[in-house]
Amino acid sequence: MTRALAMISGGLDSILAAKLIKEQDIEVIGICFRSYFFDEENAKRMTKQIGIQLEVIDFSKEHFDMVRDPKHGWGKNMNPCIDCHSMMMRYSGELLEKFDADFIITGEVLNQRPMSQNRSALDVVKKQSGFNDKILRPLCAKKIKETQMEIDGLVDREKLLDLSGRNRKPQMALAEKWGIKDYPSPAGGCKLTEPNYSIRLKDILDAKEDVTEKDIHLLKYGRHFVSENKTKVVVSRTGEEGEQIKQLLNNKDMMFFTANFNGAMVIIPEGNNPTDDDLIFACRLAARYSKGREEELVKVKFGQVSTEFDMTKDVNAMTQEELDKYIVN
């Protein structure tokens, strides 16, 4: 029986491509990638809707190394789509033997994204993957050159599609036909496509050579500020977000909170080596994002996480002008 590996991003296009091939009585196994910037949760929901197996591949470290310096550059934000797709295809190609599969499916649509899905970019992705002759794009197959899989009769070209451009109506109609109702918005699963996250990521990549996994995950939460001394300070927005941040902390991180008023959690992550001015900076942020912000002075307690927080400073709250000056996003 013919078998294909479908690269499942978690979006609608990739699952439609997989379903289209499954409709030809070809066995389809989903392949999803996990990195610091996206995970498999959407892919799990999508594959359940069409009844295919899903394998999750964690390529976080290699993917991050590529994101720092992509051969073909970034897109509108920090998304290196051409190099990312090439890397995913290479990994998928290397799995063909393991799963005794014949070819790879992707959900790419010609000209849907002007920079990463034009004809030239699609060709670059295939060539750079190292598995040029094993890649099938079912949704736009009739708009591009016939593949070896079609020539050999593994796939019926007449049952493939000729989608092109940014119009999503054909995909939505197919989803309705096949009962696929639970799907995210386009590019909804990748943090690298989000403008604010990209600003934070670029800032930390410029500031630090040894960026850690923890640094990357912290970028997802709170408000981020950088002092005159280039010390990073993170302020939680909600209690729930504060709890999420706590899960990332250890006793090398510093925490700040107002002693007599309810307020946000403020942290200086490990590796920043704050000066006394930086400690005052963090304390003033804690005062600003507390119910005592209008007071002349606010007492702020701070210390290493999991300690007694026995250090205090009485500070005035940071002004709006200062917030605007030091905020990263």
CATH of the domain at 31: 3.40.50.620
Regarding whether 252 and 155 lie in a shared domain, the answer is no
Distance of CA 254 to the CA centre of its chain: 27
Nearest residue to 208 via CA among 230, 237, 182, 238? 230
| The predicted structure's pLDDT at residue 128 | 76
| The predicted structure's pLDDT at residue 215 | 94
Regarding whether 208 and 62 lie in a shared domain, the answer is no
**What secondary structure letter does DSSP report for 8?**
-
Regarding whether 244 and 162 lie in a shared domain, the answer is no
Regarding whether 254 and 134 lie in a shared domain, the answer is no
Regarding whether 120 and 64 lie in a shared domain, the answer is yes
- What CA–CA distance (Å, rounded) separates 75 from 81? 7
Q: What is the pTM of this model?
A: 0.85
Residue where a domain terminates, one of 185, 205, 229: 185
| The predicted structure's pLDDT at residue 230 | 92
Query: What is the domain extent for residue 289?
Result: 194-326
Mean pLDDT per 10-residue run, the chain (329 residues)? Answer: 94 95 97 95 94 96 94 88 91 95 93 64 71 91 92 95 89 93 76 92 90 94 95 95 94 95 96 94 98 96 91 96 93
Regarding whether 95 and 17 lie in a shared domain, the answer is yes
Regarding whether 62 and 7 lie in a shared domain, the answer is yes
How many domains does the chain divide into? Answer: 2
Regarding whether 212 and 315 lie in a shared domain, the answer is yes
Phi, psi of 170 (to 5 degrees): -60, -40
Q: Cα dist. 120→68, 124, 277 in Å? A: 23, 6, 52
Regarding whether 218 and 124 lie in a shared domain, the answer is no
β-pair type (27-34, 3-7): parallel
Residue type, 33: F
Regarding whether 127 and 207 lie in a shared domain, the answer is no
Regarding whether 157 and 83 lie in a shared domain, the answer is yes
Residue where a domain terminates, one of 156, 185, 214: 185
Regarding whether 90 and 65 lie in a shared domain, the answer is yes
Residue where a domain terminates, one of 131, 166, 185: 185
